[in-house]
Structure 1
């Protein structure tokens, strides 16, 4: 009987020890969870605070300068008469080149790599290089554009040279995001299409692309958002911020909003009013970016609901 009691006491002690260990482990996990939660909260709050301060500062500096005359006037050495109509038109022309070129080449490359290319060393080599290109500094793409489009093809500092250079810059982003979108399409959808007698291209066109289109558009939005705000490649290929005519075709010289912001910010050391002009131009650039993103998001949501 004493042996039985002793055994029961040992078992109860083991259970008590196990419960104590479990409680301590749960306490550590809850503590770690709270630390991580508040760390992420701090990171998100810090990012939002920086963005809010930036928007507030830019909005305050642009008060009194952002008006209809500023939007419709051409560039001028007189800050009171300076406008950005040429830079706005140049930016729109730039996006007209970047958008279609990036979409066609980027999505086409992703389709080939995911649906047609055989897996092997060559495929891995191409995939690795595309992924690495997404992290290459933008000025390197500017040097590439200067060599190929400005000097070899002789486009000079024209819209097509700037657009193709920017397309090279954002192309890896579109390719990688499109590949991820195509991979996320369930394989049973392809099998069902093949079972109905569809060819590979018909399956890609009617099943894979519609299903992956919302995610592809998300990547395209991010790519265009980066392209519209980049300055370094345009500086390298020699895009001016001078008193030039408003461009009328893709072979005309042009300036863009990021270039105008860059030069006005530099000139603000000499003329204080240029800082206000730069702030007003930043507001316009943000509005254009917001409109572009809104249109793309509406299109993405429409296809997402449809498919």
Structure 2
């Protein structure tokens, strides 16, 4: 290598190092900016709504007076809704992913189904609301009920759960399955004892993100006719219901400034519910990651 080539290489290396430093700086600035915006939003919500959070706020129903307003119906409606969404979406989503990855033949039809699932994962939530209105509310005659809302939200998160579960299953080393087959295990035994436990952290991460989206969505439920003002805790799945996002939206749409503070308190409760869900998922995921 002559002197000119050596100098040219050093010049290119210096330029690459400068670009690397610039890119790192841009990534750090983007992260700091995002965190600052998030902290600013949380600070504003806490400042505005923390004074309204007490035991009565959780146990009282919605009221026309801000000082008496509570989230009892919305909170229990959200919990009841998720008690329907969670088993339905997890069983169908993970089961579909297992079938597509392990059992379905690799044909043009299978690829077409997977393409549609990936497409549905990016469809706006309002479309699923219209689908739920057509199929569950009118088609199956469920009306504006908790069951119709739960099935509609299950449709909303189902494509995301399928995609996330497929990626988690693909990440499992093929050698683990081959070792299980070599020991005489059947396909289902291998899936149940080797593949699913090894893919469980990834599956759980995708599922909890999808369910968190379901907790915070209001548009599909508004389409199927979820209520914004009820004075009872929904017990029967065929009863009317409300959820926290709809209750918060109702308070924010009112002109009184006090209701905006009540809405901020509702947002804090919703954030606490989401954090609790994610904390449980992280604990379960860490336990499985230590084992596999």
Q: Place the TM-score, normalised by the shorter chain, in its bin.
A: over 0.9
Alpha-carbon distance in 1 for matches of 2:143, 2:229: 16
Paired residue for 1:303, among 276, 288, 292?
288
For residues 108-135 of structure 1, the C-alpha deviation after alignment (integer angstroms, 9 at most, x for no partner) is 0000000001112111101111111111
* CA distance, structure 1, for counterparts of residue 38 and residue 272 of structure 2: 15
Report the CA distance between 1:243 and its aligned residue: 2.8
* 1:110-162 deviations in Å (ceiling 9; x for gaps): 00000001112111101111111111001001100111111111112211111
Which one of the candidate residues 62, 66, 89 is aligned to 1:75? 62
Contact 1:142 1:165 in 2 (8 A): yes
Structure 1 gaps, min length 5? 1-13
TM-score when normalising by structure 1: 0.93
TM-score (norm: length of structure 2): 0.98
| Alignment map for 1:73-112 (pairs within 5 Å) | 73-112=60-99
Structure 2: segments with no counterpart, 5+ residues: none
Match of 2:242 in 1: 255
Structure 1 counterpart of 2:263: 278
Higher-Rg member (1/2):
1
Tell me which moved more, 281-290 or 161-170.
161-170
What is the root-mean-square deviation of aligned Cα atoms in Å? 1.0
Query: Structure 1 residues 150 and 57, CA, compared in 2 at 3 Å: closer, same or farther?
Result: same
Contact 1:244 1:254 in 2 (8 A): no
- Confirm whether residue 35 of structure 1 aligns to residue 29 of structure 2: no
Contact 2:251/2:259 (CA < 8 Å) preserved in 1?
Answer: yes
Q: Is the 8 A contact 1:213 1:303 kept in 2?
A: yes
Query: Within 2, Cα distance between the matches of 1:120 and 1:243?
Result: 50
Determine the C-alpha separation between the residues in 2 that align with 1:40 and 1:124.
36
Name whichever of 106-115 and 23-32 sits farther off.
Answer: 23-32
Matched residue, 1:226:
213
Q: CA deviation at 1:77?
A: 0.9
